[in-house]
Structure 1
Amino acid sequence: MAFFQNGRVVQPVIPDGVLTSGGNVVASFEAKYTNPMHIPAEGHIYQTLAAAGVLDAPLAFLIYPSDAPLQVYDVKARGNQEMKLATLGLDLYGYRRDGGAEERASKLLDVMNSLAPVPS
């Protein structure tokens, strides 16, 4: 995954996480260890959407360590490619060894199921 110019890599694109199903990218993830604002920082948005665009991911997650509520933004990218940007806090400061990972995975799965495009 990279941006190319004249056949040469000018900038690699390496997301913090990628979720695939059946060989297709379902979602890309970027984690930011900062307190989220009402609207995410511009640089965080660009980084998250650039990775999702290169991967052709329909869903891009911007994950925070706080318990920030889910916010969803509809995005139109190049060529009218439609995707969603979701910001979400996973309460990493409240992590527990007994079930913490499962709770976070379940939360992400619920969000992804609610945002999945309806097949046509």
Structure 2
Amino acid sequence: MPLERRCFALDLVADSDLIAEYEARHRPGAVWPEILADMRDRGIAAMEIWRCADRLFMIAEIETDQPAQTAVPTIVERWEAEMDRYQRRLPGTPADVKWRVMTRIFDLADQPAQRAE
């Protein structure tokens, strides 16, 4: 199964109590099992979310041969509605988009292997 790495960004509401709650909602065992199952069903093989202040960065490894699923289960809609309390879209992001896709601009593997002297 070929994988593609995709990266996304999103901001949190700049409130330390809400940020702490958001992190608690994402600790092992805290994410609803139906959400995890839906992610795996959609071909997400791996995912990490990183935070710096109120900025989130998500790295996802997604199976490229997975058929596209358009229907979003009600439980996922409910989870996303609950997460809206903590999240805010990046400036210029359309209303129907939450996580903003990032563009890779550097890869060490693409750079020359020679060292400068």
Fold match, TM over 0.5?
Answer: no
- Output the TM-score relative to the length of structure 2: 0.26
- Output the TM-score relative to the length of structure 1: 0.26
Higher relative contact order, chain-length normalized (CA < 8 Å, sep 6+): 2
Structure 1 or 2: more strand by fraction: 1
Choose 1 or 2 for highest CA Rg. Answer: 2
